[in-house]
Amino acid sequence: MPIARLSICGSDGPRRGDCPVLTLRLTFSWLTVLPVRGPAEVDRRAAARAIALAPIAGLTLGLAAAAVLWLLEPAGAAAGFAAVAVLALLTRGMHLDGLADTFDGLGVYGPPERAREVMKSGGAGPFGVSAIVVAAGIQAGAFTALAASGHWYAVILAVALGRVAVVAACRRGIEPAPDTRFGALVAGTQSWVTVAVWVVVTAAVSVFAVPGLVWPGPLVAVLSLLVAVRLADHGARRIGGLSGDLLGAAVELTTALSALGFVAAANAV
């Protein structure tokens, strides 16, 4: 009598990609360097589930950034830059790379094909380098200020918000850019209900980002998401659809803007 192999998701869960555990593993394999694997077959259905859980990966990364800041807080500004470096290491630097490619593509003249060609070139031009320096600098400075005032929650939230932006940028109605494998998997996969749930959750948990006041946290969070997603939408129109680079840019921009906004709101209290 043959011995059946046991699976936490059933015999065909790994193949279908609809197992919650495998879905979460796919999320982390896409968004972090953790040595985990998702389902054997990844189609748009599996991709949709994985992207919907992106904020959970963001929460984990935020905890890592806060831990680095807590350990190195006496070092001042160096702690902020160390946190940014650790986030880059834990994400293979792909979001910073996407940020650079996005701004290089948006800064070039010509048709969408030319913009996509520049974004795929592999190098970073002046627009891309400037975008990385500004975004990383803002994040490092804001993280340092938040750590100095003990606002660890705001640090974690800012990093997680970057992944909420990914969910919103992949909402229904968004088409993938031509010749983009990742974009073809994730563009237009998120229902408006999923996006709305994450925005509501974001606004609710942001209430605690600025101690002493209720409204600044949600305002900063929602505005940061709006700006970043609008950039992704503009980039999608410019290059003919959504790509992984645009999602990376949305992550970094949301993180930078929300962290900076939390600092400004906390100082205004």
| Surface-to-core class of residue 243, CB atoms within 10 Å of its CB (0-12 exposed, 13-18 middle, 19+ buried) | buried
Q: In sequence order, what are the residues at sequence separation of 6 or more whose Cβ sits closer than 8 angstroms to the Cβ of residue 68? A: 79, 82, 83, 86
Is 44 within the bounds of a domain? no
Lowest mean pLDDT among 35-39, 87-91, 151-155: 35-39
Give a three-class secondary structure readout of the chain. Answer: CCCCCCCCCCCCHHHHCCCHHHHHHHHHHHHCCCCCCCCCCCCHHHHHHHHHCHHHHHHHHHHHHHHHHHHHHHHCHHHHHHHHHHHHHHCCCHHHHHHHHHHHHHCCCCCHHHHHHHHCCCCCCHHHHHHHHHHHHHHHHHHHHHHHCCCHHHHHHHHHHHHHHHHHHCECCCCECCCCHHHHHHCCCECHHHHHHHHHHHHHHHHHCCCCCCCHHHHHHHHHHHHHHHHHHHHHHHHCCECHHHHHHHHHHHHHHHHHHHHHHHHHC
Domain ranges, residue 145: 55-268
Q: Both tokens of residue 21?
A: 């555990």
| Backbone phi, psi, residue 242, to 5° | -85, 140
In a domain, 15, yes or no: no
Q: Does residue 42 sit within a domain?
A: no
- Mean pLDDT value across residues 47-75: 97
pLDDT at 3 over 50: no
Q: Is the pLDDT of residue 8 over 70?
A: no
Is residue 131's pLDDT more than 50? yes
What b-and-e string marks burial along 90-127, b requiring 16 or more CB atoms within 10 Å of the CB?
Answer: bbebbbbbbbbbbbbbbebeeebeebbebbeeeebbeb
Query: Does 143 reside within a domain?
Result: yes
Q: Is the residue at 173 inside a domain? A: yes
Indicate left, alpha or beta for 176 from its phi (over 0: left) and psi (-120 to 50: alpha).
beta
Give the Cα separation of 174 and 190 in Å (integer): 10
Using alpha carbons, select from 138, 149, 135 the residue that is nearest to residue 70.
Answer: 149
- Asked whether residue 154 is assigned to any structural domain, the reply reads yes
Count of domains observed in the chain: 1
* pTM of the shown model: 0.92
Q: What is the mean pLDDT of residues 64-77?
A: 96
Q: What is the pLDDT of residue 1?
A: 32
Q: Is residue 31 part of a domain?
A: no
In a domain, residue 236? The reply is: yes
- For residue 110, pLDDT over 50 is answered with yes
